[in-house]
Amino acid sequence: MEDLVESILDYVRADYTDYAIMINGEWGSGKTYFWNNKIRNKIDSLSFNGKKYTTIYMSLYGISNLEDISKKIFIETTQLMDKNMRKFMSTHDKTSIPEYAKTGLDMAHLFGVTQNGDKMDYAQFFSTDDKVLCFDDLERANVDVIDILGYINNFVEHDHIKTIIICNEKELSTKLKSSNLEMKTFIATYLLDKEGTLLTADKPMVEKIGEKIEYVFDKANDYERIKEKLIGETFEYAPKFNYIINGLLMRYENNPDLIRFLREHTDLITNTFIKSGTRNLRILKHALNDFKKIFETVNKFYPNTNLRVLQTMLIFTIAVSFEIKAGKITKDKFINITSNEEYKAILVSSRVLMDNRQFYIKEFDNNYYFNFKSEYRFFKFIEVYVRTRIFDMKIFKNDMEMIIQTIDTEKLPGYKRLLTEEYWKISDDRFPYVIEEVLSNVKNGDLKLIEIVKLFAYFSYFSRRKLIPYDMQTIKDLFIKGMDLVVENSEYCSNIEEELSRIGIDVGEDMTDVLKHFYELNRKLKIKMYKDKAEDIFKCIPMRMEVFYDKFTTECAKTPTLNYYDVNKMMQRITCASNEDIMKIKEMLLLRAKKNTRELEAEIPFITELKETLDAYCTGKEVNIKTVTLREFSSDLENILNLYKDLPRRRIYTRKKKIDFDSI
């Protein structure tokens, strides 16, 4: 790095130059930091041939026309002309005007610089003999790069001003190729069509359009030509990050506990940064700032947190920041992982079964935690904080309580050890106790239905390899009885395939009977779930209609909920509802059936039976608004049934149930 500094100073000290130099590096790699902390001060303190040099720094970020550059140069070079301003800046130890203040200055009024009432060209005030210009963020300007370089060339070639350009040429190249792409595509397509080659089969159309764009709008070559004329040397900025990271840590000097922790673990910061595969120090700076909040909150509420956990939190904060903010993944990658236990379960399944669906998580873990052993490697509250910028205290406390319970894996329940870590990590002495503990959980109904299924896969595996003293049939009978025992208190599992994919061993044929029994029990749980939902929604008729409308439209739009409700109860509720609500309900049912006919096909028996019940109820009744309204309800039910007549291969549903009309 010192060699690079000296090379730049050699350029400044040269008696005569008619070229600029370029510092090229990736976004966020610390180029501006390098200029401010390694280059600028040395140039400002440089005296050579009786001249004391002064640096003029300008960011081109957001510049929309060349006049803006002239104004910036003018402001920077004339800011000390005003006596009052010079006095103020000297008193307050200021060397330049803050950017936000510059935007509020009316330069003509401040300096009284006018000519015939018009603003003058600010560039003509520029003094050239002892100045060094630095243009940063070339690729972020909103002006054509070719025009900017041509503009800068005036200072370099004609006035021989020492000029340094800082940019990211990789992004510059992308910008040159992608600017006005729609217009370029339109013109290229038009030209190809006129030439009669647009639809020829010799090349794919996309390739032909791309080649025509490159031929007609070859900005990249224009850039190379002017760069060759303007830039004498290009220095690749590849910093040694240790000194930059130390600089980043200095901002935490007023927090002794945090700065001590960070300095003690600079190697973790550096290694995680390198493993990110980027050179973006800006993201690292933000990640360390996020960790400051995390570190302080953990120490405030859980002051005795294990050091290894804090180390892992530091790694995870930096790793997730780079994965999300560097655009390596979408923000959704971690959303569905809710806990460290689930994270580890995914790792077990991906490592043993080579499940490509979990490939990203496996690669993330292998990359950032390679040679770093920690049982707790996923923190939901940190992931949410980095992704959403919200520090959720509820999630934080849930995570921390779970950490306290699980940080010592020897204290983990046996079934969790089997489901969340490789079984071979359990010592031979401890293994029999884990087996007996899990069997006791199964016998006593202490586990969830899906957990029993997954655990059976392990016990089947252990039995085949003679690791446990139980034959297959004994295990199968015990686990099936355990499933029957817990089914009443279990919930329907909607993501069976995902859950079973987390089994970290090779599943054998012995699973067939257990899975068959599980699917049957899970189907019953699904029916129970829908019945409970139907009861919860329809009990709102007729007294809580607003709640009914809200729940029915949001929760039952594509779900055949009616099929899980009793027709007799529905008749009682409808006939007790107001005429207005009866009309609304029938309209909702008809509209819902039109929008989601196929999804609601299973409701045919219910609709049929409800219509028959309505017709029977209205037969012989005195004609009044209520009976007319109910007959219209029946008519719309007929319209719903007609929707299904045109469906191909329509299933035939039947539903036989005795209706007690005396109770209606």
- Examine the pLDDT at 611 and tell me if it is beyond 90: yes
The whole model's pTM is what?
0.47
17 & 155 share domain: yes
Q: What is the DSSP letter of 118?
A: B
C-beta neighbour count of 359 within 10 angstroms: 11
Asked if residue 130 is part of any domain, the answer here is: yes
Asked if residue 232 is part of any domain, the answer here is: no
Q: Which residue has the tokens 């307050």?
A: 92
Asked if residue 230 is part of any domain, the answer here is: no
Confidence category of residue 31, pLDDT binned at 50, 70, 90: confident
Q: Write down which residue in 500, 527, 554 finishes a domain.
A: 527
162 & 258 share domain: no
- Examine the pLDDT at 115 and tell me if it is beyond 60: no
54 & 16 share domain: yes
360 & 448 share domain: no
Helix (H) or strand (E) holding 295: helix 281-301
Question: In this structure, what token pair is assigned to residue 42?
Answer: 């040395």
In the chain, how many domains are there? 4
Confidence category of residue 214, pLDDT binned at 50, 70, 90: low
550 & 648 share domain: yes
523 & 572 share domain: no
365 & 457 share domain: no
Q: Are 550 and 516 in contact (CB under 8 A)?
A: no
Q: Which domain holds residue 247?
A: 241-407
pLDDT score of 577: 93
- Examine the pLDDT at 118 and tell me if it is beyond 80: no
For the stretch 574-590, pLDDT in tens is 999 999 999 999 999 99
462 & 551 share domain: no
474 & 608 share domain: no
Asked if residue 613 is part of any domain, the answer here is: yes
d(Cα 114, Cα 258) in Å, to the nearest integer? 54
449 & 381 share domain: no
393 & 281 share domain: yes
For the stretch 38-74, pLDDT in tens is 888 888 888 777 778 888 888 888 888 888 788 777 7
d(Cα 556, Cα 537) in Å, to the nearest integer? 9
Asked if residue 417 is part of any domain, the answer here is: no
Confidence category of residue 122, pLDDT binned at 50, 70, 90: very low
- Whether residue 413 has a cis bond before it, omega within 30° of 0: no
562 & 519 share domain: no
